[in-house]
Amino acid sequence: MIEMDGAVNTGNPAAALINGLPVAVYICDNEGFITTYNEFAKQLWGSKPVNGETRWLGNVKTYTLDGMLVSPCQSLSAHSLSAQTDALEKKFILERADGSRKYINHHTSLIRDNEGLISGVINTLIDITAQKEDEGKQAMLAAIVTSSDDAIISKTLDGIITSWNHAAEKLFGYTEQEAIGRSITMLIPDDRLSEEEHIINQVSSSQIVDHFETLRQHKTGRLIPLSLTISPVKDTSGNIIGASKIARDISKQKQAEQQLQHYARNLEILNSFGKSVAENLDVQTILQKVTDATTQLTGAEYGAFFYNKLNENGEAYMLYTLSGAPKEAFEKLGMPRNTDVFKTTFRGEGIIRVDDITKDQRYGKYAPHHGMPKGHLPVTSYLAVPVISKHGSVIGGLLYGHSKPAMFTQEHEQLVDGIAAQAAIALDNAKLYEEISIINARKDEFIGLASHELKTPVTTINGYLQIIERSLAGSDRNAGFITKARVQVGKLSNLISDLLDVSKIITGQLPLSYATFNLTDLLAECTEVMQQTCTTHNITVEQPEEPIIVNADQQRIEQVIVNLLSNAIKYSPQANEVLVKLNHNNGQATVSVQDFGMGIDPNDQKHIFSRFYRVEHVAAHISGLGIGLYICNEIINRHGGHLSVNSQLGHGATFSFQIPLN
């Protein structure tokens, strides 16, 4: 066996040539024994054939491309020799001793002697592993492109489509044959043609256009929202020769986004609607808010809320609010009549939602209009939801219209139904509030009337008691009773005056007569008079020497001071001191009355200036009507001043008021 290794150095140029070839070459004799091989063959086999071994290739195995082991007698050279066929060629896999594999292209060529007899065979093995691997990669890529869910298209820089996968076929509706060779502009809507120019510019300067969201058109003209990624395609020398485009259908994503936005918008409307309706007690405002919100939520062109009401005489009438149409559009049409369409709603028989009301069997049965009156807003889609109170009575109906058919969905129906239930509660509350306001007004009217009627007899009784008192001799034992009677009549008279004041305040008829006076004198006088009748408490006054002049209603300010002083005494039964202070600064005179009694809980402090409010646990054992502070607060407010309390439960209270200095 001749090993050509090192042949270059032997000085044999033919051997050097063969040994230097970048292909494996070996020769077998006519029995298939390897007689000669070159350097490249040794490299390819990964080992040398063992000298003298028959028909090699001991530890190098050969397989067909589909994996069948090839025995030496099945080898191409054996075949060539036995069939005496020149120039055979076949692809195999060589597995070397270390297990590594090579793809080879095996070529045989018979050697004949001078007599033409076959003396051997020249074998050429070309290593095609790299090419095979490349083919594998290509096939893999092609399979990926074919099976991809995204449309993958390639095009030249002139926009001519050069490849088109299955998903592109599905997405755009063109077959591969229809698409290849045509311009990419067939997919671009007219108003977006400029995008192509931009894309080509980007791609030409080696840039990738990534996740570009746009619209492209289907073969039928239908627009499809897409996310495009476009990359340059380069030839082997790196020149940009076209672009590959991956298009992902984002219709579902867009739909989901829109749906989300839609829900968010509805939620926003519902939230703000719920809050404002719950806060509102005015029927007309509630009706309008409900109508506006539901018209917006349903996308109706017109919405109306018809609300049944009773007037003072118990007669039924209807209030209504509109949205989306001017009031005049309804005014000449009158109220919904008792037709089959409206009956269902106003009898609370259920929701009506129809795609085309004019085709509904309930529609158009009654004279004179037989359908919508002339001049009615065009209504095709119709949705009507009864509004039912929690007691089960129908309090109204919400009606919506749209000039186009099939505009209302089940979602709209459910939304309005939900709001109708809320609206019913709000309207029930508003109705209750209205009723309470009426009763309250009647009560105020009664208080005004009763106190007015009581005032005259009480004044008369007081007068008679005075006469009797004067006519009795000092020794008369009835004199004491008369005095007590006069004290009680005085209290009664004060209560009646207070009640009269309350009713004057409510009706806005509490007159004030302004005059300039010295507040220091007034305070001294009030405390002195109070001290004369009070034996339990010592009233101390702290005030400056100089006069403090104010322009106010002296009698009303006196009323406030007396009220605060008597409260201080009344609500501090365990104490024996009341502290009164007067000072002035920043153009204000401040009077404060401090006691060391039971004090007021902060929760009650918020309410004590309201009409008829009395602190619960105190009310039972200390008499009063709960209107003194209400009147004081009103008087001070009317003077442009401010009345406040500072107190801690169990630690006394300080009431202070400020009024402007003259």
Q: Hunting for tokens 């200095």 — which residue is that?
A: 661
Nearer to ligand ADP, 39 or 634 (CB): 634
- State both tokens at 274: 């719920």
CB of 501 to ligand ADP, least distance (A): 12
Asked if omega into 232 is within 30° of 0 (cis), the reply is no
d(CA 661, CA 646): 23
Question: Which one among 76, 203, 629, 636 touches ligand ADP, defined by CB under 6 A?
Answer: 629
Question: Which one among 614, 634, 641, 643 touches ligand ADP, defined by CB under 6 A?
Answer: 614
* Contact range with ligand ADP by CB under 6 A, out of 142-150, 330-338, 457-465, 596-604: 596-604
Nearer to ligand ADP, 93 or 598 (CB): 598
| 72 belongs to the binding site for ligand ADP (CB under 6 A) | no
Total Cβ atoms within 10 A of residue 620? 8
CB of 538 to ligand ADP, least distance (A): 16
Cα-based distances in Å from 604 to 349, 574, 614, 615, 642: 49, 21, 8, 7, 18
| 141 belongs to the binding site for ligand ADP (CB under 6 A) | no
| 646 belongs to the binding site for ligand ADP (CB under 6 A) | no
Nearer to ligand ADP, 152 or 561 (CB): 561
Question: Which one among 159, 324, 628, 641 touches ligand ADP, defined by CB under 6 A?
Answer: 628
Question: Which one among 608, 636, 643, 659 touches ligand ADP, defined by CB under 6 A?
Answer: 608
DSSP secondary structure letters along 4-62: -TTGGGGT-HHHHHHHH-SSEEEEEETTS-EEEE-HHHHHHHTSPPPTT-TT--TT-EE
Q: Which amino acid is at 197?
A: E
Q: Judging by beta carbons within 10 Å of its beta carbon (0-12, 13-18, 19+), is residue 229 exposed, middle or buried? A: middle
Are 269 and 276 in contact by the 8 Å Cβ rule? The answer is no
CB-based contacts of 95, cutoff 8 Å, min separation 6: 60, 61, 62, 63, 101
Question: Which one among 615, 636, 643, 659 touches ligand ADP, defined by CB under 6 A?
Answer: 615
d(CA 67, CA 392): 84
Q: Which residue is closest to ligand ADP by CB?
A: 624
CB of 570 to ligand ADP, least distance (A): 6
CB of 489 to ligand ADP, least distance (A): 18
| 427 belongs to the binding site for ligand ADP (CB under 6 A) | no
Nearer to ligand ADP, 36 or 563 (CB): 563
Total Cβ atoms within 10 A of residue 627? 21
* Contact range with ligand ADP by CB under 6 A, out of 229-237, 462-470, 475-483, 613-621: 613-621
Q: Judging by beta carbons within 10 Å of its beta carbon (0-12, 13-18, 19+), is residue 118 exposed, middle or buried? A: middle
Nearer to ligand ADP, 360 or 601 (CB): 601
| 618 belongs to the binding site for ligand ADP (CB under 6 A) | yes
At 461 the three-state DSSP class reads: helix
Nearer to ligand ADP, 294 or 559 (CB): 559
Identify residues 484-503 at the interface with ligand ADP (CB under 6 A): none
Question: Pseudo-torsion of CA 142, 143, 147, 149, nearest 10°?
Answer: -50
Nearer to ligand ADP, 255 or 576 (CB): 576
CB of 566 to ligand ADP, least distance (A): 8
| 627 belongs to the binding site for ligand ADP (CB under 6 A) | yes
Nearer to ligand ADP, 128 or 541 (CB): 541
Question: Which one among 39, 553, 595, 634 touches ligand ADP, defined by CB under 6 A?
Answer: 595
Total Cβ atoms within 10 A of residue 658? 21
* Contact range with ligand ADP by CB under 6 A, out of 156-164, 175-183, 215-223, 606-614: 606-614
CB of 596 to ligand ADP, least distance (A): 10
* Contact range with ligand ADP by CB under 6 A, out of 174-182, 320-328, 466-474, 627-635: 627-635
Residues in the chain: 662
| 598 belongs to the binding site for ligand ADP (CB under 6 A) | yes
Question: Which one among 446, 514, 625, 648 touches ligand ADP, defined by CB under 6 A?
Answer: 625
CB of 647 to ligand ADP, least distance (A): 7
| 597 belongs to the binding site for ligand ADP (CB under 6 A) | yes
Total Cβ atoms within 10 A of residue 512? 12
* Contact range with ligand ADP by CB under 6 A, out of 315-323, 459-467, 550-558, 617-625: 617-625
DSSP secondary structure letters along 512-576: ---EEEEHHHHHHHHHHHHHHH-SS-EEEEE--SS--EEEE-HHHHHHHHHHHHHHHHHT-TT--
| 578 belongs to the binding site for ligand ADP (CB under 6 A) | no
Max CA-CA distance within the chain? 185
Facing residues of 541 across strands? Answer: 580
Question: Which one among 45, 306, 517, 571 touches ligand ADP, defined by CB under 6 A?
Answer: 571
d(CA 150, CA 341): 51
Cα-based distances in Å from 582 to 251, 299, 471, 524, 549: 78, 66, 43, 10, 12
CB of 614 to ligand ADP, least distance (A): 4
- Binding positions for ligand ADP, rule: CB under 6 A: 567-568, 571, 595, 597-598, 600, 608, 613-615, 618, 624-630, 653
